[in-house]
């Protein structure tokens, strides 16, 4: 699988590489030692004398069709996801130590984006059309969008009409149980 993916890479599609691979992967280089051991009339010898390149056999094993046009580059999104996760590490303590609307808004956006990417990955990985049919994956992705929009809206409501995210977390932590009060 990895080899066939490698062969579909742009570097492997130029003419010189294809000619070299065809030359290296034909089975004619195996004919000399086998031909001296087997009689010329055997079925195996006839099969080996055909010059079918191995590269064609590998390409016939692909499981996904080649996309028409330019494929999507998901490496940039991966870098953005990891950047958001790295930004959350210092931003969460800063938002709790210095609660203000700027840190609260940044926290709301980054937490929602981070949660969205995680929930979307879960929905795409586990609610596959080949397993559950074509409609349920669309419903699952719709629910992910709905949950994340509601989360962002709720966090912005807390920021604008209530005490803010940082102060809300401080208030939750300051609640003492009945046992601690007495």
Binding site for a ubiquinone: what residues are annotated? Answer: 126
φ, ψ of residue 122 to 5 degrees: the values are -65, -45
Question: Which pair of tokens denotes residue 141?
Answer: 């992705």
Q: Which residues belong to the annotated binding site for heme b?
A: 114
Length of the chain: 182
DSSP secondary structure code for residue 29 in this structure: G
Neighbours of 8 (CB within 10 A): 13
- Give the annotated binding-site residues: 114, 126
Residue 146, CB half-sphere, CA atoms under 13 Å: how many? 6
Helix axes 75-97, 101-126, angle to 10 degrees: 140
CA angle 170, 175, 176 (to 5 degrees): 140
Cβ count within 10 A of residue 111: 19
């Amino acid at each position: 699988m990895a080899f066939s993916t490698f062969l579909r890479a742009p570097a492997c599609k130029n003419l010189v590489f294809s000619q070299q691979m065809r030359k290296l992967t034909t089975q004619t280089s195996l004919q000399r030692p086998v031909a001296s051991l087997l009689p010329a009339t055997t079925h195996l010898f006839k099969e080996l004398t055909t010059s079918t390149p191995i590269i064609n056999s590998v390409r016939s094993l692909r499981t996904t069709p080649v996309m028409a046009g330019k494929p999507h580059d998901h490496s940039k999104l991966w870098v953005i996801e990891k950047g958001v996760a790295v930004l959350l590490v210092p931003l969460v303590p800063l938002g709790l130590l210095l609660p203000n609307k700027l840190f609260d808004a940044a926290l709301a956006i980054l937490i929602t984006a981070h949660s969205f990417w995680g929930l979307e990955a879960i929905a795409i990985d586990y609610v596959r059309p080949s397993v559950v049919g074509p409609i349920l994956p669309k419903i699952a992705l719709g629910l992910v969008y709905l949950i994340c929009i509601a989360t962002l809206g709720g966090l912005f409501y807390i920021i604008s009409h209530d005490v803010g995210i940082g102060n809300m977390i401080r208030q939750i932590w300051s609640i003492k149980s009945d046992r601690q009060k007495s």
